[in-house]
Amino acid sequence: MKAYNEMTRDELLSEKEALERQFAEVKAQHLKLDMSRGKPSKAQLELSNEMMDVLNGDSYFLDETGTDCRNYGIMDGIPEAKRLMGEMSEVSPDHMIIFGNSSLNIMFDTVSRSYTHGVCGSTPWCRLDKVKFLCPVPGYDRHFRITEFFGIEMINIPMTPEGPDMDLVEQYVNSDPAVKGIWCVPKYSNPQGYSYSDATVLRFARLNPAAEDFRIYWDNAYSIHHLYDEPEKQDVILEILDECEKAGHPDMVYKFISTSKVTFPGSGLAALASSKRNLEDISKFMQVQTIGHDKLNQLRHVRFFGNMANMHAHMSRHAAILRPKFEAVENALEKDLGGLGIASWTNPRGGYFISFDSMDGCAKAIVAKCAEAGVKLTPAGATYPYGKDPKDSNIRIAPSFPTLEELKKAAAVFTLSVRLVSVEKLLEA
Ligand code: PLP
């Protein structure tokens, strides 16, 4: 088919008429489909059901050092959980703290603690006139909501397939002492599925922050979440703590990780990896905050997986469920929108999302059109700080939750909506 921007007005009008007819037919089906949140599907959750059987009333509840996991004690995690989560994070266990059930919660607490008490003895952010965070965009809405909640000014940094625009990052971080942090999803980023190149990671490690309390918030949520089993189709990134240490900035990173999309979201293990100095700083806060996290869940995870090789095998079973879904969406996008000159999208090799860009000024209308036909998408703008996408073009597609059949239907509604809204936009011009 001819690209839309090459069509005459009459051609566009007849295309619009045909699309409107199709849309009316779809609407009459009263669909109820959801491509909005990055939740694992029921089939994926079932992969971890046996974890519920590894502990029962007759189980042995001691960890490997003899601590009774049913009781209070141990702030930073049982040693075998630190080892497993350390391996998952590519960090040695003595640089790990195991927290509760959510890495987002650790991120919130980290910002909150810095705000009220400061970072490693520096001035609490609440006493400063201005605190700024860099936000690679499009990015993860919940990161942005944390910094917005604390009144921190957020600065958009464009993402590229190699990672954030590092010229801009260096310019801000190295010259402005009000810049205290940057949100990063370095592997299979939310929403693009991009992974930072070696050059990007090295430039991060070699930053020379104007603020002594500047920290990189390295949210490695998708560290082992490949869609393909072949090693050549799996992204690998440099280990940031190690690179920061080598560059003489051992304290510059907080690395977050969780098993939310490995076992059960909301009932997994979350952990933080950082320098000894940062971990000690955080421990002081934790000792007031809690008497310890859920060690039984740590035990459950460790006994279920046994080792990292089994965790990778488990992720491959997730991939077998997710891969056809990603491919179904990508095929629909290519078949229905390829060559029309009205959209672009990413083809990730891992993670949970596809990032879609429409013509400028169309994203909100596309999301609304899909809703009209019973397909729920992440609200347009959500991938930007303050919910404001300056071009109104980005939409995050989450293929994981619906069944493959539902997803195929939802993808067809989506591409139809994109075409209809784009034709309308072009006719407006
Ligand atoms: N970080 C990123 C980048 C995510 O996409 C998500 C969930 O979608 C989370 C963190 C949430 O992780 P958790 O369940 O460990 O809080």
- What's at 42, amino acid-wise? K
What mean pLDDT is reported for the chain? 97
Per-residue confidence at 225, pLDDT binned at 50, 70, 90?
very high
102 lines ligand 1 (CB under 6 A): yes
Atom of ligand 1 nearest to the CA of 352: 5
- Whether residue 70 has pLDDT greater than 90: yes
119 lines ligand 1 (CB under 6 A): no
pLDDT at 42 over 90: yes
Task: Return d(Cα 289, Cα 53) in angstroms, integer.
Answer: 31
What is the Å distance from ligand 1's center to 128 Cα? 29
Closest CA to 155 of 330, 165, 163: 165
* Nearest CA owner, ligand 1 atom 11: 104
Mean pLDDT of 239-257: 98
The pLDDT value recorded for residue 168 is 98
Predicted confidence at residue 46, as pLDDT, reads 98
pLDDT at 408 over 90: yes
pLDDT-derived band at 71 (thresholds 50, 70, 90) equals very high
Residue nearest to atom 5 of ligand 1 (CA): 190
Model confidence pLDDT, tens digit, residues 82-97 = 999 999 999 999 999 9
Report CA(184)–ligand 1 centroid distance (Å): 12
User: What is the Å distance from ligand 1's center to 61 Cα?
Assistant: 29
- In contact, 185 and 219? CB cutoff 8 Å: yes
Ligand 1: which of 98, 140, 264 to mutate, judged by most atoms within 8 Å of the beta carbon? 140
The stretch 181-199 carries a mean pLDDT of 98
148: nearest Cα among 170, 99, 115, 120: 115
Counting residues of the chain whose pLDDT is more than 90, the rounded percentage is: 99
pLDDT computed for residue 37 by the predictor = 83
Do residues 162 and 156 make contact, with C-beta atoms less than 8 angstroms apart? no
Question: What local confidence, expressed as pLDDT, does residue 11 receive?
Answer: 96
Work out the pLDDT band at 330, boundaries 50, 70, 90. very high
d(CA 202, CA 237): 10
Counting from 1 in the atom list of ligand 1, the atom nearest the Cα of 185 is 3
pLDDT confidence of residue 345: 98
Q: Is the CB of 140 under 6 A from ligand 1?
A: yes
**CB distance 101 to ligand 1 below 6 Å:** no
Residue 43, pLDDT > 90, answer yes
pLDDT score of 299: 98
> What residue type is 372 in one-letter code?
E
CB 124 within 8 A of CB 150: no
pTM (2 d.p.):
0.97
Cβ of 315 closer than 6 Å to ligand 1, yes or no, is no
Task: Please give the distance, rounded to the nearest whole angstrom, from the Cα atom of residue 302 to the centre of ligand 1.
Answer: 21
What would the 3-class secondary structure string for the chain be?
Answer: CCCHHHCCHHHHHHHHHHHHHHHHHHHCCCCCEEECCCCCCHHHHHCCHHHHHCCCCCCCCECCCCCECCCCCCCCCCHHHHHHHHHHHCCCHHHEEECCCCHHHHHHHHHHHHHHHCCCCCCCHHHCCCCEEEEEECCCHHHHHHHHHCCCEEEEEEEECCEECHHHHHHHHHHCCCEEEEEECCCCCCCCCCCCCHHHHHHHHCCCCCCCCCEEEEECCCCCCECCCCHHHCCCCCCHHHHHHHCCCCCCEEEEEECCCCCCCCCCCEEEECCHHHHHHHHHHHHHHCCCCCHHHHHHHHHHHCCHHHHHHHHHHHHHHHHHHHHHHHHHHHHHHCCCCCEEECCCCECCCEEEEECCCCHHHHHHHHHHCCEEECCCCCCCHHHCCCCCCEEEECCCCCCHHHHHHHHHHHHHHHHHHHHHHHHHC
Closest CA to 155 of 181, 174, 186, 177: 181
Q: What percent of the chain has pLDDT over 70?
A: 100
pLDDT score recorded for residue 429:
82
For the purposes of burial, counting CB atoms within 10 Å of the CB of 71, is it exposed (0-12), middle (13-18) or buried (19 or more)? exposed
- Report which residue type is found at 126: C
pLDDT value for 1: 81
Task: Decide: 263 in ligand 1 pocket, CB within 6 A.
Answer: no
Closest CA to 282 of 121, 173, 410: 121
85 within ligand 1 shell (Cβ under 6 A): no
Residue 243 pLDDT: 98
Q: Tell whether omega for the bond before 191 is within 30 degrees of 0, i.e. cis.
A: yes
pLDDT value at residue 312:
98
34 and 288 in contact (C-beta within 8 Å)? no
**pLDDT (tens digit, 9 = 90+) per residue, 115-170?**
999 999 999 999 999 999 999 999 999 999 999 999 999 999 999 999 999 999 99
User: Looking at residues 271-294, what average pLDDT do you find?
Assistant: 96
